[in-house]
Amino acid sequence: MADSPGPAGCPRAAPAVEPVLFLGTVALGLQAPLCTQFLWDRLGAELGYNGSAASGSAGCGNASGAGDLRQQELETLASHWNLYINLAGFFVGLFSVTLFGPWSDSVGRRPALILPAVGMALQAAIYLLVMYLRLHVGYFLLGRILCGLMGDYNLILASCFAYVADISDQRSRTFRIAILEACLGVAGMLASIIGGQWRKAQGYINPFWLVFAVSLAAALYAALCLQESVKERKPAKLFTLSHYVSVYRLYAAPGYQRSRQKLALYSLTFFLIVTIHFGAKDVFVLYELSSPLCWGSDLIGYGSAASYLTYLSSLAGLRALQLCLEDAWVAELGLLSNVSGLVVISLASTTPLMFTGYGILFLSMAATPVIRAKLSKLVDEKDQGALFASVACVEGLCSLVATGVFNALYPASLHFMKGFPFLFGAIILLVPAALIGWIEILDTTPRYGHFTDAS
């Protein structure tokens, strides 16, 4: 824990990075579904489609003939624009996160928290200009690129998790990381409920002003109130290849081969789990907007809130299950919950069945804090920034792959099974379940007992 006092005007208490993550997640939780709905409405108006559930029309479920073809055309177009906008940010963010993360190991975490929050505020400002001036939705690409250059939301995640690793011991780290992930759930749930109701009452512009405001608030909190967690700070150049080399060394430097293998395998499991999580989220709104569900913005808000509620239920489940199970087996139960929920959602044709699927996902977020904690314990304290930068890099790649696969798979599967992307995700999750079980079994074998401390 950092010994230096906080900035003037703020209490000298234990470091609390949760407000930064909370505010950043509120901004993202408001922006993501609203952006998809805005694309749906704007592109639907250009196509002359009047059956949008988001606009409250009763014609969604009764679309047939030319109307049904037009709905499919709109779904495909909106899905593709989601793909283009996300690609624009992720390609840039993939490199900026791995630059800023290792840099924060030297200069401290606070700069790596301020920059992406400012970037999210700039992105919201550009989105507002598009709405006020009725510019083409292609200008959303500019906002995503600027945000990506400053690290994007993934850098906030990486810096917050590195911050928690700085101030926690190995014994408590899994639960501390789970608490941080629970902040994601609380913020996302709040943002989803507010966003859905607010959009229905006042349209898109006012909710996006809130996105701008909370992004700025996150930057100001990190700049003025947050204590530094890096004990020994030192000046370091930002634009240098050494930051990328430090990430590479985590996986390739000489050392215990078993530890490097576990680092790679846990990174692979994390990649698969988060890819499915991001991919499913990308198409949830489109799946809910169109027939047979035909949800309005209020139900979409409640659905997003239900998906974020899994962070809190997973935290409670993790805490309870840790009393009788090893962390790895808790992660396995989380994956079982995830697979079962996605299977139910893939078959959902009614609102009660869709919410049943959300309910079954109650433990689905238990796996990711376990994997983050295990990865953190495999590297030195001085490399936590580089590690979580690499994890954020993996998350950026997850978003890239998820956006490409699911936004392409969804329109391609409309003619034979609308929920096929969720079923596909459930099948893929069997792979990380097998990998985690295999690593845990090897670790409990006497032959590998001397590697246990590294896990």
Phi-psi domain of 151 (left: phi exceeds 0; alpha: psi -120 through 50; beta: other): left
Where residue 304 sits, what CATH number does that domain have? 1.20.1250.20
pLDDT at 55: 43
Residue 244 in domain: no
Per-10-residue mean pLDDT for the chain, 455 residues long?
A: 46 70 92 86 81 47 59 82 81 86 89 95 94 90 92 91 88 88 85 80 89 96 89 79 80 69 92 94 85 85 83 92 91 96 94 95 94 89 86 81 86 90 96 94 62 44
Number of domains in the chain: 1
Residues 60 and 205 sit within 8 Å (Cβ to Cβ): no
Residue 293 in domain: yes
Residues 370 and 327 sit within 8 Å (Cβ to Cβ): yes
pLDDT in tens, 117-138: 999 999 999 999 999 998 988 8
Domain extent, residue 202, equals 18-50+65-231+249-454
Residue 55 in domain: no
Residue 56 in domain: no
pLDDT at 66: 54
> What does 335-385 look like in DSSP terms, one character per residue?
HHHHHHHHHHHHT--SHHHHHHHHHHGGGTTSHHHHHHHHHHHTS-GGGHH
Residue 57 in domain: no
pLDDT at 62: 53
- The single-letter code of the amino acid at 155 is L
Residue 3 in domain: no
pTM given for the model: 0.79
pLDDT at 212: 96
Residue 236 in domain: no
Residue 13 in domain: no
State the residue for tokens 């898109």.
204
Residues 435 and 267 sit within 8 Å (Cβ to Cβ): no
pLDDT in tens, 331-350: 999 999 999 999 999 999 99
pLDDT at 313: 93
The Cβ of residue 349 has, within 10 Å, a number of other Cβ atoms equal to 11
415, exposed or middle or buried, with CB in 10 Å at 0-12, 13-18, 19+? exposed
Residues 29 and 190 sit within 8 Å (Cβ to Cβ): yes
Distance (Å) of CA 78 to CA 131, 135, 138, 277:
17, 16, 12, 20
The residues, ordered by sequence, that sit 6+ positions from 394 with a Cβ below 8 Å of its Cβ are 267, 270, 271, 274
Residues 24 and 156 sit within 8 Å (Cβ to Cβ): yes
Helix boundaries (H) for 139-256:
140-149, 152-167, 173-202, 205-224, 242-252
